Amino acid sequence: MKHRLALALCVFAATASAATSTAWEVNGFSDFLKGRLTNLSLSADGVLQPGPVVRWNSALDQPALWSIAAAPDGSIYTGTGHTGRLYRVAADGKPSLLWSAGQSEIFALAVDAKGVLYAGTSPSGGVYRIEGGRATEVWHSPDKYIWAIQPAADGALFIATGEHGRVYRLAPNRTASLYYETGQGNVTALALAAGHLYAGTDPNGIIYDITAPQQATILYDSSLPEIRALAVDSKGYVYAAGMGGAVASRSGAPASTTTPPSSPVVSASPTVITVTEAKTEAADADGSALKVSGDQTKSGSPAAAAGAATGTAVTEVSGVEKSAIYRIAPDRTVETLRSSKNDNVYDLLLDGDGFIFSTDDHGRVYRWNTGRVALVSEPGDGSTTRLAKSGVNLYAALSNPGRLIAFGATAAGASRYESTVHDSVSVARWGHLQWHGGGPGIAFSTRTGDSVRPDATWSKWSEPMNDPNGALIGSPAARFIQWRAEWPAGSNAHLDTVDIPYLPQNAPPVVHSISVTSIVGSNPGKSGTPAANASSAYSITVTDTGEPPAASTTTSASQSVSRLQSTQTQISWQADDPDTDKLVYSVYFRSEDGTAWQLIRSRMFENTLLLDPDVFADGRYYFKIVASDAPANSAQFARQSELISSPVLIDNTPPLVTLGGLRRDGATVDVDIEGADATSPLRLCEYSMDAGSWQPIEATDGVTDSPRERFHLHLDNVHPGEHLLVVRIYDAANNAGLARVLIR
């Protein structure tokens, strides 16, 4: 507990300070499940320990292994896809070709109480009895697919078919009859117990309880499209695996919207076989199946393969429930024992007080017991499509490619765990690797690199570390790190926590931009009272008595004019830190003709500075922002960066406007105007006659663009009498200079 608390405090500190030691901790079921396990099991409590060892791995040189069945002599029968071959795998793992079907797929195998093997072929195939190396067709299916065969105690066979979702009963005398028609596309799974035949279907995921020919009730209507496997225990509880929730097609059922437990979405690529009718020609000389065409798309179930065969577009949708395992009590109460967005459950096998199930995520095999899920084994890449037990031995059929794996006793061989790759965001220095568990013998190694996936640029695996008191990580400083743990053969050591302490390199902050603007508004300091509107440049109040109005008067004006306008310089900037460190800023300036930077303000945590009026005389200036991550890092690791602005023109003085050469000749008036500004060029000249609207005047040289310009105003149709002419000139800093003249 003390260790966990200390580590939690360490990790918390790391979130606020990039250059403070932190740790990558791996513990718990979900953390360890992200890595790769070899001959290891993972308990529901997140404890890694040696698990069932792969006794042998029999490669069948086939793309898919659809079905398996255990023989009385301890051998395993396997039905494959694409070439329709039936193999017998001996107890020592050696495969031998037993039979080549005349169809491309063997989706169904079953061994009856007498040890007789039956195989169902697709498409447009039949049921075959295989004895003494010879296959005899005992029934030819009127339907396209045979998905499952369930032997009965009286010697009959129940046969699940598609595309019309029918169940047939084949009597011992080989007389077949339609037992039940579900109205679904496919009957994909069968289970028989106490006079009840349970049938799982596709595409609506319905489980039927069939009690007699053409008599059935719906046991459960799942939200998932396919019931992949069924099993019934001695107490009458029905276990069902539903899958395919992430697979959608043009004609299929929509993906489920059931909310499963939150976890990262993992895209799987299970095996799919697109099946076409076998041509009516003999098999080739080596006994291989007749010619078929295949297509690799994203789906792993035979029912999905049937969809592909009919030309239906199949796609995979992420973020929805992909699979679930249900338990249905005799009173029809339904419990969802497991739900996943990450994997499809392909098979289900009762085992003592719980059950074993297989998935398409690294071929993983799990065990469920009393509400808890433990990882039994991870055979490797591919999909574990079927499971079988023969005595105490467990067998797993994998596809992509097709192979049969036999599991042996725990701790019979070496075991290994390989972690995921950890990103420390920046180049890091590594500390002492720490682990917690029980038992000696575990050896750790690390490797590091600067690419997200280990490649030739990564360091080699380090020398093994097996002393927790002196396991200094010797791998080079880098951004990414990975570790592995190895158990020797016969070890019973277990592991529940691994910590990789490290000190990340502190990245400097970045100043992205600087903006310097002039803000024109009220100046309370010059008027004594704040203006009601900061955009008002003048305030005029007039009363009929000549006395100042009361404070509450709102409909008045004065006989005096006070200038309330002022200009403030606002400096703002944008900056951030790659490590999300808290930043502190310093602001400097220098004049265009100066060389030394002058500090305006230091230790600022805001990114805006508003300067008082008149602190800068008119001219051109540079501004510099220095950003530092010192508040979040110790002094020796703190970093800073700076950015200098472009030259900024500060001009608070309006242009000087001079009017001269006024000439009036009857209804015409001519006026010469001169504008001059000491700091910036002029931009606009305009006039107003008798408080009328402003009208522009262009410079005599054609363009108003110099600090000194001459203008000429010619007016026609000026009525007799006195007129007020006002001229206004703006400079580049938007300062306005005014002049007036009375025309008589």
pLDDT digits (tens, 9 = 90+) for 659-717: 988 999 989 999 999 999 998 899 999 999 999 999 999 999 999 999 999 999 999 99
Is residue 171 classed as helix, strand or coil in its secondary structure? coil
At 634 the pLDDT is 84
Give the confidence band of 615 by pLDDT, cuts at 50, 70, 90. Answer: confident
Nearest-angstrom CA–CA distance, 256 and 197: 27
What's the pTM value of the predicted model, to 2 decimals? 0.66
How far apart (Å, rounded) are the C-alpha atoms in residues 717 and 224? 89
User: Residue 474 and residue 578: Cα distance in Å, rounded?
Assistant: 27
Buried b (16+ CB within 10 A) or exposed e, 546-563: eeeeeeeeeeeeeeeeee
Q: What's the confidence (pLDDT) of residue 652? A: 82
Helix (H, G, I), strand (E, B) or coil at 164: coil
Sign of the alpha-carbon dihedral angle for 590, 596, 599, 605: positive
What are 531-582's pLDDT values in tens digits? 334 333 333 333 444 455 454 433 333 333 334 456 688 999 999 998 888 9
Question: pLDDT tens across 258-267, in order?
Answer: 333 333 333 3
Output the CA–CA distances (angstroms, integers) from residue 690 to 662, 694, 724, in the order listed: 16, 10, 5
Give the separation between CA 512 and CA 642, rounded to whole angstroms: 9
**pLDDT at residue number 547:** 53
Residue-wise pLDDT tens digits, 179-216: 999 999 999 999 999 999 999 999 999 999 999 999 99
Which of 70-74, 442-446, 465-469 is predicted least confidently?
465-469
Weakest-pLDDT range from 39-43, 121-125, 159-163, 258-262? 258-262
Report pLDDT for 245: 82
pLDDT for position 247:
60
**Beta carbons of 90 and 77 less than 8 angstroms apart:** no
Residue in the block written with tokens 């951004």:
479
Task: Please tell me the predicted confidence (pLDDT) of residue 315.
Answer: 56
The mean pLDDT value for 20-46 works out to: 93
Within 10 angstroms of residue 144's Cβ, the number of other Cβ atoms is 19
Q: What is the pLDDT of residues 696-712, one digit of tens each?
A: 999 999 999 999 999 99
Q: In whole angstroms, what is the distance from residue 185 CA to residue 309 CA? A: 13
Q: Answer yes or no: are the C-beta atoms of 191 and 238 closer than 8 Å.
A: yes
**pLDDT tier for residue 15 given thresholds of 50, 70 and 90:** very low
| Per-residue confidence band for 317, with pLDDT thresholds at 50, 70 and 90 | low
Rounded CA gap, 386 and 132, in Å? 25
Instruction: Assign 3-state DSSP to the chain and report helix, strand, coil percentages, each to 5.
Output: 5, 50, 45
Mean pLDDT of 514-536: 54
- Give the tokens for residue 470: 């002196």
For residue 101, with 0-12 CB atoms within 10 Å meaning exposed, 13-18 middle and 19 or more buried, which class applies? buried
Examine the pLDDT at 14 and tell me if it is beyond 50. no
Rounded to the nearest integer, the mean pLDDT of the chain is 83
Q: What Å distances lie between residue 513 and 533, 599, 627, 641, CA to CA?
A: 31, 19, 12, 12
Per-residue model confidence (pLDDT) at position 360: 93
CB crowding 631-658: b at 16 or more within 10 Å, else e: ebbeeebbbbbebebeebbbbbbbbebe
Separation CA 408–CA 101 (nearest Å): 32
Say which amino acid occupies 483.
Answer: W
Structure tokens given for 148: 């499952």
Q: Does position 612 have pLDDT exceeding 70, yes or no?
A: yes
pLDDT at 12: 38
Query: Is residue 681 reached through a cis peptide bond, with omega within 30 degrees of 0 on the bond before it?
Result: no
Q: Provide mean pLDDT across the span 649-656.
A: 89
Q: What is the pLDDT of residue 500?
A: 95
Residue 412: the pLDDT is 63
Tens digits of residue pLDDT in 346-382: 999 999 889 999 999 999 999 999 889 999 999 888 8
Amino acid residing at 244:
G
- Region 728-732: mean pLDDT is 94
Pairing label, strands 538-542, 64-70: unpaired
155-166 in b/e form (b: 16+ CB < 10 A) is: ebbbbbbbbbbb
* Residues 6+ positions from 550 with CB-CB distance below 8 Å: none
Question: Looking at residue 507, what is its pLDDT?
Answer: 85
CA angle 554–556–560, rounded 5-degree value: 125
User: How confident is the model over 579-601, as pLDDT tens digits?
Assistant: 888 999 999 999 999 999 999 99
Q: How far apart are CA 51 and CA 643, in angstroms?
A: 59
CB atoms within 10 A of CB 508: 16
